[in-house]
Amino acid sequence: MTISHSGYHKHSAYIATHADMPGFSKTDQARLATLLLGHAGKLGKLSGSGKFLDWRMLFSLRLAFVLCRRRADEPLPEITVGQRSDALDEGFEVRLPKAWIEANPLVEYSLAQEADEWERIGKRYKVVYA
């Protein structure tokens, strides 16, 4: 009847995996469940799973989660994101205005934590304040 807040992403993934979802193929349902599982928490649970995972989509979802955590109607600054994918270096880059990040130190901390999480699974995550 109740779902713990700390594990809601796991419960959401379980429900998406096992629910009847007309209009979704089993593959699409599995993709959705994987995104729900990976949008919060450690990325290590996904890196070796062998499941289909769109890393760009997951990156976008996790960035939105970090930037909109307060769920306030405050405007976000201009954010530039990029992806690098070559044989030696795969990852993402996020650019934010320095003045905005100085006014939002908890976002800065969360972005640093997010970068560490991506580095743990071997993907570069660079945050630039310009």
- Residue 13's pLDDT is 82
- Residue 87's pLDDT is 55
- Residue 60's pLDDT is 93
Burial zone of 42 (CB within 10 Å; 0-12 exposed, 13-18 middle, 19+ buried):
exposed
Which tokens belong to 1?
Answer: 């009847």
For 55-130, CATH number out of 2.40.110.10, 2.40.30.200, 1.10.3210.10, 2.40.50.140 equals 1.10.3210.10
pLDDT tens per residue across span 35-62 = 988 888 888 888 666 666 788 899 999 9
DSSP 8-state symbol, 6: G
Q: How far is 23 from 112, CA to CA, in rounded Å?
A: 38
Q: How far is 61 from 63, CA to CA, in rounded Å?
A: 6
Question: For the chain, what are the domain ranges?
Answer: 1-53, 55-130
- Residue 110's pLDDT is 95
Contact 97, 130 (CB under 8 A): yes
Alpha-carbon torsion (59, 60, 61, 62), positive or negative: positive
* Tens digits of pLDDT across the chain (130 residues): 566 777 777 778 888 888 898 998 988 898 888 898 888 888 888 866 666 678 889 999 999 999 987 777 788 899 999 987 765 667 899 999 999 999 999 999 999 999 999 999 888 999 999 9
- Residue 3's pLDDT is 67
